[in-house]
Each structure stands twice: as structure tokens, then as C-alpha cells.
Amino acid sequence: MGQHLLTTVAEGRAFMQVIDGKAVDAISGQRIDVACPSDGKVFASIPASGVQDVDLAVQAARRAFEEGPWARMPAVERGRLLARLSRLIEKNADELAALESRDTGKPARQGRADVAGAARYYEFYGGACDKIHGDTIPFLDGYTALTLREPHGVVAGIIPWNYPLQILGRVAGAALAMGNTLVVKPAEDASLTAIRVAELALEAGFPAGAFNVVTGYGSDAGAALSAHPDVDYVTFTGSPATGTAIQQAAAVNNRGVTMELGGKSPQIVFADADLDKALPVLVNAIIQNGGQTCSAGSRVLIERPVYGKVSAALAERFAKLVAGPHDADLDLGALINPKQRARVAAMVAEAEEAGAKVLARGAIHKDAPQGGWYHVPTLFGAVDPASAIAREEVFGPVLALFAFDGEEEAVRLANGTEYGLVAGVWTADGGRQHRVAKHVRAGQVFVNGYGAGGGIELPFGGFKRSGHGREKGFEALYDMSATKTVVFNHG
């Protein structure tokens, strides 16, 4: 991918929504400016949709679900369409990666990794379509009972700005695989690749109305979509507060929801851990995507005998980290918007005022544009477990360390926040690996490794405030469908 594409990819394009198989503007004609986080400059715009646009999209999805080719399409054909979309994403990888990086500020290699991840979601779910089925149930004499897995109907997907392509892939892949139709509302800060993927879906042969993308602000288009009475199921990834609002809106219609709401994920380093393997992973798990990852490893718990050694090694690595523009492809990019940067800066300042000690700070590249929304990587030494920096999600390149004595305290600290999304355990002791994996409350536990955001095949989701329902892997197909029991009385 050339430098040129990374900085010019959206030039001259009028981005439109995809509703009922057509490119359409918002009914109001209003648009939202799209700025690149690397320099803060506006380079494109997207439609600013509201209640009426959302209604058109939901109606189109409803028609496609009940009438037309989608309604009767065999699972194998849906799988072929998803596989074709996967190949088209690969074919257009350079353009999609450049769009994603320019739209979100993420380093070029992360944009490329996200395209590969997205293609993989459609490939995985394309292959899964015709391999998921119901059961027959031993019942009374004279009866045959069986279950069918049925789609919900119209699924609404509300997508965040941190991994737009990948999260769209996991939502759309699973929803479409089960035969639902889809209305997606990408984040106002990062909608360009969702628009592009919906266009590619039409090129792949998806019938009109199966895969709709409506753009706009959360408070307008997002709120209208989650409250729409003709939406059958809502899936959301984003902040807990917005998740609550969406659940309340969906509750008025008594609709089901999947909620992925972030985390404060711990990595636990025991004294016997292989530090050469652990250290780069500990750093990457918080620096990847500038820490704007639901499953970021934002807390590192270190057993006291190695606390000095591990914290010094982490400080050495943090001091070398450099943030810069997406096309420079450095350790991390800018944060998504000025509000997010201000929030991260305020949390860091508050932690310092409360007495937390900064062990190391990285740098912002000297040639990074002045208008970009950069935040310097920051490493805090052992923090008070009761403090905000120890408990609340920062969603930025900020890592907090903790010291612990023994396995019991490690588990207590790991479970000591309201979140429960992912955890990492680093130890050579097999028994301890199993015990800690069992006792940590998290939807995913990695032993001697960590996969922030990774693993298409691996079921993913939260306990506690991190949400409910599961995405990724086969489990997502259960969330995106419902069991219908059919009983035959044949005497």
C-alpha cells in the first residue's frame, strides 16, 4: 500500500448510505464532517440521518426478510454470498485499509490487520451457515419433537469507532449467516468502511434490503434504530452508559439484545512467568489501537518478588513508544476525537493528583501534525486498587500496575473491578494456570498469551458490567437466532 493512498483514499468521494440496495443521502440532506485524527482535518462527509431514514432502512430490511430472494435462500447460498463478500474485501484490501486508517488514525499496519480480520469473519460465518442445526428430542410415545434454529428477523447493529471493519464483520457475519436481515449504524466518527462494505455486499450479490447501512449521530439515528418497533434484535458494542440507553430503548419493545461494553482487563504475572515472552505482549495489549480496545490489557498485576524487575522493564519499553500519524505507522496513532483525548488526559491528571506515580512516558513524534489528537503513552506504577485509574476504563494508552502476594490476592485484584471481559495469566505452573483461569471472572482468559481483539473463532463477551451475550465463533450464531420447537403427534 502506497503512502499516497493512505492520505488521499477518500478524495472526491461522496459517501452515501446503503438502504434497500441503493446509495442514498439523508432525507434532510444534512451531513456530518469526517476528520482524520492524525491531523484533525476534515476530508470527507457522511449523511446525518434521523428517524425517517432509519424507518426506511428498517422497512427495507423487513421486506427483504419476509419477501424476495433472501427470505427463501438456502443456508448454503447465504454462505456463498458471505464467502464472496470475504473475497471482495480481500480484493479491495488496500483501499479499505487506507480508509480505515485515515478515518480512525490507526497505524497503517493495524488498518491492514483489521481488513484481514474482517475478511476472515465473513469467511468463517460463510462456512458456518450450513453447519448449524437443531436437535431431535426424545418425547412421549406417538410424538416426534424437534428444534429449528430460526433467525430473529431484522437485526440492528450499533457499531463503535475503534474497530469499525472488524466489529461490523463479527456482527454482520453472524447475523446474515443465520438468515437475519441487517440495519447497521456505524459510529459517526468512523463510518466510511461500513459504507464501503455494504457496497461490496451488493457487488457480491446480496439482495436489496439484506445489508443496510444508515449513518448519523448516536442520539439521532442510533436512538431511532434501537427504539424501532420493527427491529427484532439489537446488538451493540460501545460504552456502558450508551449500552444502558440502548437496552432501555429495546426494552420498550421487549426485544433481545447483545451487549459488549468494554473492560478493565487484567494480566497477572507470577514470579515464575517467562518474562521474555510476556513483556512485549503486556505492552502491545494496551498500546494496540492506542488503548482504544474493549479488551485492552489495561491492568498488569505483578507478583511482588518480580515487581521491581517487571515494572522497570515495562518502563524501559514505555519510554521508547512513539505516537504519530497513521501513515508513519509508528507504535500508535492519535485518539479518535478531541473529546476522547480530553477524557484520557483528565483521567491521567486526576490519577497523578491522587498520588499515582508515573513510571514512564513515551513520546509524540516531533513531525506529528499539530492538529492531531495524540496522547502520550503513560505507565503508572503500583496504583491504589480503590482509585479511579485502577477501576475505570480509560480507553487510551495508559497502563496501571499492581503488586500482589500469592494466587488468592491476584484473583481478588483481578476480579476487583465492575468489568469482566478478558484476562491474561502468565505462569509456568500448570495447576495454577487452571485454578486462576477458573476463578477469574472474564469472558476470555488467555494463559501465557493475550489476544486483545483477536480470534474470530473464539467466543467473546463479558461478565458483570462488560455486558452479556456472546459474539464471535459459533456462539454468536446462537445469539443471532432463536430455537423453535416443533412437535408432531402421529399417534
* Helix (H), strand (E) counts: the chain: 17, 22
- Residue among 267 and 295 whose Cβ is closer to ligand ADP: 295
Q: Which of 89, 92, 120 has the alpha carbon at shortest distance from 9?
A: 92
CB of 239 to ligand ADP, least distance (A): 4
Residue 73 — φ and ψ, nearest 5°?
-70, 130
Alpha carbon distances (Å) from 379 to 107, 283, 348: 21, 10, 10
CB of 242 to ligand ADP, least distance (A): 4
Residues in region 189-218 near ligand ADP by CB under 6 A: 218
Q: Is 260 a catalytic residue?
A: yes
- The verdict on 465 binding ligand ADP (CB under 6 A) reads no
| Window 412-451: contact mask with ligand ADP (x via CB under 6 A) | ----------------------------------------
- The verdict on 333 binding ligand ADP (CB under 6 A) reads no
Piece of the chain touching ligand ADP by CB under 6 A; list 66-74, 92-100, 156-164, 320-328: 156-164
Q: Which amino acid is it at 456?
A: I
Task: Say if residues 386 and 361 touch (Cβ distance below 8 Å).
Answer: no
Residues in region 222-251 near ligand ADP by CB under 6 A: 222-223, 226, 238-239, 242, 245-246
- The verdict on 187 binding ligand ADP (CB under 6 A) reads yes
Residue 444 — φ and ψ, nearest 5°?
-135, 140
- The verdict on 219 binding ligand ADP (CB under 6 A) reads yes
State which of residues 34, 54, 89, 159 lies at the interface with ligand ADP (CB under 6 A).
159
Q: Which of 188, 260, 303, 471 is catalytic?
A: 260
- Residue among 245 and 423 whose Cβ is closer to ligand ADP: 245
- Residue among 187 and 348 whose Cβ is closer to ligand ADP: 187
Q: Which helix (H) or strand (E) holds 241?
A: helix 240-252
Q: Which of 290, 277, 304, 263 has the alpha carbon at shortest distance from 415?
A: 263
CB burial of residue 353 (10 Å; 0-12, 13-18, 19+): exposed
Q: How far apart are CA 322 and CA 365, in angstroms?
A: 6
Coil, strand or helix at 380: strand
- Residue among 395 and 446 whose Cβ is closer to ligand ADP: 395
- Residue among 226 and 444 whose Cβ is closer to ligand ADP: 226
Grid cell at residue 207: 439482495
Q: Which of 428, 454, 399 has the alpha carbon at shortest distance from 282?
A: 399
Piece of the chain touching ligand ADP by CB under 6 A; list 39-47, 64-72, 152-160, 205-213: 152-160
Piece of the chain touching ligand ADP by CB under 6 A; list 6-14, 220-228, 325-333, 471-479: 220-228
Task: Say if residues 299 and 264 touch (Cβ distance below 8 Å).
Answer: yes
C-alpha neighbours within 13 Å on the C-beta side of residue 148: 7
DSSP secondary structure string, 393-444? ---SSEEEEEEE-HHHHHHHHHT-SS--SEEEEE-S-HHHHHHHHHHS--SE
Q: Which amino acid is it at 95?
A: E
CB of 16 to ligand ADP, least distance (A): 18
CB of 161 to ligand ADP, least distance (A): 7
- Residue among 188 and 327 whose Cβ is closer to ligand ADP: 188
- Residue among 159 and 351 whose Cβ is closer to ligand ADP: 159
CB of 183 to ligand ADP, least distance (A): 12
Q: What angle do CA 178, 420, 342 make, to 5 degrees?
A: 100
Q: Which of 100, 129, 294, 393 is catalytic?
A: 294
- The verdict on 158 binding ligand ADP (CB under 6 A) reads yes
State which of residues 126, 160, 396, 473 lies at the interface with ligand ADP (CB under 6 A).
160
- Residue among 226 and 289 whose Cβ is closer to ligand ADP: 226
Residues in region 246-305 near ligand ADP by CB under 6 A: 246
Residue 481, number of CB atoms within 10 A of its CB:
22
Binding residue count for ligand ADP, defined by CB under 6 A: 16
CB of 36 to ligand ADP, least distance (A): 17
Cell 499496519 appears where?
Answer: 109
Active-site residue set: 260, 294
Please give the residue ranges that form the binding site for ligand ADP (CB under 6 A): 158-160, 185, 187-188, 218-219, 222-223, 226, 238-239, 242, 245-246
